[in-house]
Amino acid sequence: MSAPNLVIHKAVNSDVRDLVKLESASFVSSDGLLTERAFRYHIKRGNLCLIAREEISGEIAGYVLVLPHRKSARVYSLATSARHQGKGVARSLLHKAMEEVRQRNIPLLKLEVRRENTPAIALYQSLGFHIQRIRQNYYGTNEDAICMQIAFI
Ligand SMILES: CC(C)(COP(=O)(O)OP(=O)(O)OC[C@H]1O[C@@H](n2cnc3c(N)ncnc32)[C@H](O)[C@@H]1OP(=O)(O)O)[C@@H](O)C(=O)NCCC(=O)NCCS
């Protein structure tokens, strides 16, 4: 399932420049931005990095990075470009990522999100993620993390 006029594909090395641009437009450096090297590492390792692009122009609209392990996978990062927000891009990326996690027989998908990030929390809840617990000062600057998860079994 994807938003209209979007294609979703697995990232390859030639996507890294676009990914880094989107990353720096979406987060501040104190968030610990993913670098070109980090993206290359995740691609090489076979971690799940999905990109949404506009079908015609090829412009990057969003990405999600999921780290799969045997017993659970973790949504490590997710962003939609400002121009594409509110059009179902993140929802489509997460749907696709959840499908992949299920196909790999991983029973649980987890994530942490800043308590203040209400758009992201609303998105995760609408997809069936539940709040598991709150980790105080998780981000180091008096900012709590909401830990969420969805089980597939
Ligand atoms: C959070 C983010 C990824 C959402 O991306 P998006 O592509 O705009 O989201 P979608 O259009 O797929 O929205 C799906 C749902 O998310 C929620 N949502 C998205 N934006 C919202 C907003 N501004 N306010 C409230 N809820 C919002 C809604 O539940 C929405 O469903 P609806 O359209 O039926 O109401 C995007 O705002 C973003 O990149 N933010 C900066 C980076 C970030 O915070 N990443 C998440 C880190 S955990």
Is the CB–ligand 1 distance for residue 93 below 6 Å? no
Residue 2, SS3 per DSSP = coil
> Is it the case that residue 3 has pLDDT exceeding 80?
no
Note the pLDDT of residue 2. 56
Task: Please give the average per-residue pLDDT across 116-141, as a whole number.
Answer: 95
Q: Would you list the domain boundaries of the chain?
A: 6-151
What is the overall mean pLDDT for the chain? 94
pLDDT tens, residue by residue, 13-49: 999 999 999 999 999 877 789 999 999 999 999 999 9
Q: Is residue 3 within 6 Å of ligand 1 at its C-beta?
A: no
Cβ 146 under 6 angstroms from ligand 1:
no
Q: Report the residue among 19, 67, 123, 147 best suited for mutation to probe ligand 1: largest number of ligand atoms under 8 A from its CB.
A: 123
List, for residues 78-102, the tens digit of each pLDDT value.
999 999 999 999 999 999 999 999 9
Q: Enumerate the active-site residues.
A: 112, 124
Within a 10 A sphere around the Cβ of 58, how many other Cβ atoms? 9
Write down the pLDDT at residue 153.
Answer: 78
Share of the chain above pLDDT 90, in %: 89
Specify the pTM: 0.96
38: CA distance to ligand 1 center in Å?
A: 24
- pLDDT at residue number 1: 46
- Counting residues of the chain whose pLDDT is more than 70, the rounded percentage is 97
What whole-number distance in Å separates Cα of residue 106 and Cα of residue 121?
22
Instruction: Report the atom number in ligand 1 closest to the C-alpha of 79.
Output: 39
At 93, the amino acid letter reads L
90 CA → ligand 1 middle, Å: 7
Which pairs from 24-29 meet CB under 8 Å and 24+ separation?
Answer: 25/81, 25/82, 26/79, 26/80, 26/81, 27/79
- Specify the CATH class of 6-151 in words: alpha beta
Q: Is the CB of 113 under 6 A from ligand 1?
A: yes
